[in-house]
């Protein structure tokens, strides 16, 4: 096979880095070669040892000192430097002979997604491998009701629009989620979500239902993997989703 590149995006603290660590460990245990990339110039510590670490090129703390910037300004500047040095990043990825490349993005999602680096990186990675996908990692505690499921689907679609990469949502921290049964129902059974939204009987619920119907029409995957990166649980399900994102063969179960 060619390379399969997975880019992890998501809000700060959703568990991107922990999930990269867990997925890389899982792949290695299955004797599957994997190359890990950290693109967080502000990372203090990482739960894995990246094969490529952006801090060898740009470190947010040094940028802050050098240019006299605060934390946000330093991050924005670091993103610009990263965009200029894109060839180094992408070259390292292209040069690795691993089947899987896991790309961990900056802790602060917005400095990545709202800057040129996001689409420039996506474009460059797609040239390395057409099988480049994104996972949108969210903390499972944000999901309480069907409207939240719609929120998740819309956010993942927004990321997909921005990156131009097929993007699937992943719910992390299920070990700490208040009620995984409700979570399971609404992430696995769109019929139930639609019914609950219909029963709500208001215009807003109606709008969400229509939005979901359209989104799901164009997105292959409905089941959202529920994982605990910290416990290494649900990684097999995540892996199935990653394989499914590319092959176009639908159900792999």
At 202 the three-state DSSP class reads coil
Binding-site member from 41, 107, 169, 225 for Mg ion (CB under 5 A) = 107
What is the three-class DSSP state of 236?
helix
Task: Enter the tokens of residue 236.
Answer: 């097999």
Touching ligand GDP, residues 155-214 (CB under 6 A): 172-173, 175-176
Q: Is 50 in the site for Mg ion (CB under 5 A)?
A: no
Instruction: Map residues 105-124 to x or -, x wherever contact with ligand GDP holds by CB under 6 A.
Output: --x-----------------
> Residue 105 Cβ, how far from Mg ion at the closest point, in Å?
8
Q: Which parts of 130-189 interact with Mg ion (CB under 5 A)?
A: none
Chain center to CA of 188 = 19
Identify the residue among 2, 13, 30, 71 touching ligand GDP (CB under 6 A).
Answer: 13
Contact predicate 86/126, CB 8 Å: no
In whole angstroms, how close is the CB of 217 to Mg ion at the nearest point?
33
In whole angstroms, the minimum distance from the beta carbon of 245 to ligand GDP comes to 20
Give Cβ neighbours of residue 68 (< 8 Å, ≥ 6 apart): none
Which of 4, 6, 9, 18 is in the footprint of ligand GDP by CB under 6 A?
A: 18
Token look-up 């599957």 returns 32
Range list of β-strands (E), the chain: 4-9, 34-38, 52-53, 100-104, 132-139, 167-172
Minimum distance between the CB of residue 121 and ligand GDP, rounded to whole angstroms?
A: 17
Beta bridge partners, 4, equal 100
Strands 34-38 and 100-104: parallel
The interface with ligand GDP within residues 72-111 (CB under 6 A) comprises 107
CB of 17 to Mg ion, least distance (A): 3
Q: In Å, what is the CA distance from 164 to each residue of 36, 113, 157?
A: 22, 12, 10
Residue 14 binds which one of ligand GDP, Mg ion, none, with CB within 5 to 8 A depending on kind? Answer: ligand GDP
Nearer to ligand GDP, 74 or 193 (CB): 74
- Does 50 sit near ligand GDP (CB under 6 A)? no
**Pick 184 or 232: Cβ nearer Mg ion:** 232
- How far CA 8 is from CA of 122, 186, 214, 215, in Å, comes to 12, 23, 24, 21
Contacting residues toward ligand GDP, per CB under 6 A = 10, 12-18, 107, 172-173, 175-176, 228-230
Contacting residues toward Mg ion, per CB under 5 A = 16-17, 107
């Amino acid at each position: 096979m060619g390379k399969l590149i997975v880019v992890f995006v998501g809000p700060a603290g959703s568990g991107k880095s922990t999930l990269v660590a867990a997925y890389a460990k899982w792949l290695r245990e299955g004797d599957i070669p994997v190359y890990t990339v950290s693109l967080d110039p502000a990372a203090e510590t990482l739960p894995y040892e990246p094969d490529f670490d952006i801090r060898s090129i740009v470190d947010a703390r040094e940028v802050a000192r050098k240019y006299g910037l605060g934390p946000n300004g330093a991050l924005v500047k670091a993103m610009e430097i990263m965009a200029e040095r894109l060839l180094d990043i992408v070259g390292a990825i292209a040069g690795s002979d691993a089947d899987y490349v896991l790309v961990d993005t900056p802790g602060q999602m917005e400095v990545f997604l709202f800057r040129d680096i996001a689409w420039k990186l996506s474009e460059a990675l797609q040239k390395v491998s057409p099988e480049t996908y994104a996972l949108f990692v969210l903390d499972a505690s944000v999901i309480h009701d069907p409207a939240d499921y719609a929120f998740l689907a819309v956010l993942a679609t927004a990321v997909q629009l921005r990156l131009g990469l097929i993007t699937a949502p992943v719910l992390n921290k299920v070990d700490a989620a208040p009620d995984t049964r409700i979570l399971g129902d609404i992430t696995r059974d769109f019929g139930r979500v639609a019914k609950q939204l219909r029963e709500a009987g208001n215009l807003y619920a109606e709008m969400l239902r229509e939005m979901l119907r359209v989104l799901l029409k164009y997105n292959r995957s409905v089941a959202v993997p529920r994982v605990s990166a910290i416990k290494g649980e649900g990684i097999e399900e995540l892996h199935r989703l990653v394989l499914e994102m590319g092959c176009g063969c639908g159900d792999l179960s």
